[in-house]
Structure 1
């Protein structure tokens, strides 16, 4: 349910704000587009943030759902998964609590004000977005899914195909880090389709895992 809700919210965001491609646009482009989106865009970001955060709950409770509540590996993985959801939540919520003020100041500012706001935008975007949400959030999410996939393959507690596809989806999702690191290291190798393919594959795997757990019950 959480994955489906996030898919709907993020689809609306993509259609109305050109997300995630707009994340790599220059500050003036992003701020102007965000200001034009108004209150409805802020509400959309709020929905995206909290529907993704809900994904952290099943991550945390997966060990119990599998009847392996005392398994130290799955318990550690659950904590890692919950941490990844929290970091991503922070990254998303800056669009609700930080970016609106910057966009308003930029839209009504003189050239000097706009230069200052663009610098502030870049700083918070790299910290809250690239570092917390896109790097730490995604890397920890991959660490969680790899652990679950390996446990599935080694113990048989989940179907083997969950393990195999989990490893593949995790690798594809991890390749998106090239795009994230390129924001700090110019010229860093980037595979352009990684973001779309990786996040889609990982999201579908999460949904498949959820369906598998429901069928087990």
Structure 2
């Protein structure tokens, strides 16, 4: 059979095009597999998880929660949310959900925590979740003059979650900013000495841009010191 370079080149081209299509299909599938926390992830019957306090120790708490949800025929989205939270290192479930513009605000219940059982996750438009009770202050924020002054006046205080949403506003360019306040005190039973006001910024498409300390607020019972607003 005579050698035909044109036909051979055509076969090579088809093979290459076919190979190029495989990663794209896998990429699309991977995107579909990402669990999005939204209204469908809400589970309100916290009582079912009481079984996990006495279940066989062979199952971890998060494993027990997933098992209980399967037995209760919970929606897939509820189970996926529990698995997502467990991957972050804490056994919990989404107990409420609402929207602030394009941003989802998920209330999370952690039934087996010793102290604070409530938390909040912000859900960006691309599915990224931001826990407002973790890594509250950046390295730069921790060395700000107003925060340092507060710590000097109240030795031993620290942020005590959960944070509460205090403000939601539109930014120039169509973005969204959500502000959360977290109490500052020396212990769980101690009086609140002040609050950290932290802003979480999102662009016009609802994608997370970052967060920063906006203000250190002193409680009325604390030493009268004016707070400094450094909004930026």
Structure number with larger C-alpha Rg: 2
Is TM more than 0.5 here?
no
Identify the structure with bigger relative contact order (alpha carbons < 8 Å, sequence gap 6+).
Answer: 1
User: Larger helix proportion, structure 1 or 2?
Assistant: 1
User: Larger strand proportion, structure 1 or 2?
Assistant: 2
TM-score (norm 2): 0.21
